[in-house]
Amino acid sequence: ESTVIQLYSHGVTTREISDLIEKMYGSYYSAGTVSNISKQVANQVESYHQRQLSDKFFCVYLDATYIPLRRDTYQREAVYVAVGI
């Protein structure tokens, strides 16, 4: 459960978490089960999203783009971009 919560809090989708759990541990968790587990931290995630920003920022833009990386395998990974004005 702690792995599911950590992945969810980092923005990984429930279907991706389900696939990762199966690959890592050999146990199958449906996307619905992952969603039910992740509801444990839903309030914390929401309060993080609603938190007050520093007075230094007028607004903050957040985005991500996926780029291909070659490490052990060839796969696309997210690069997150945050710009504060």
Domain boundaries, the chain: 2-84
Q: How many CB atoms lie within 10 A of CB 8?
A: 22
**Which residues touch 45 (CB under 8 Å, ≥6 apart)?**
8, 9
pLDDT at 49: 79
On the question of pLDDT at 64 being above 80, the answer is yes
* Global pTM value: 0.47
Contact by Cβ (8 Å): 45, 12: no
Averaged pLDDT for residues 48-52 = 83
pLDDT at 41: 76
Averaged pLDDT for residues 11-38 = 85
Q: Mark residue 66 as left, alpha or beta (left: phi above 0; alpha: psi -120 to 50; beta: remaining).
A: beta
Q: How far apart are alpha carbons 75 and 85 in whole angstroms?
A: 32
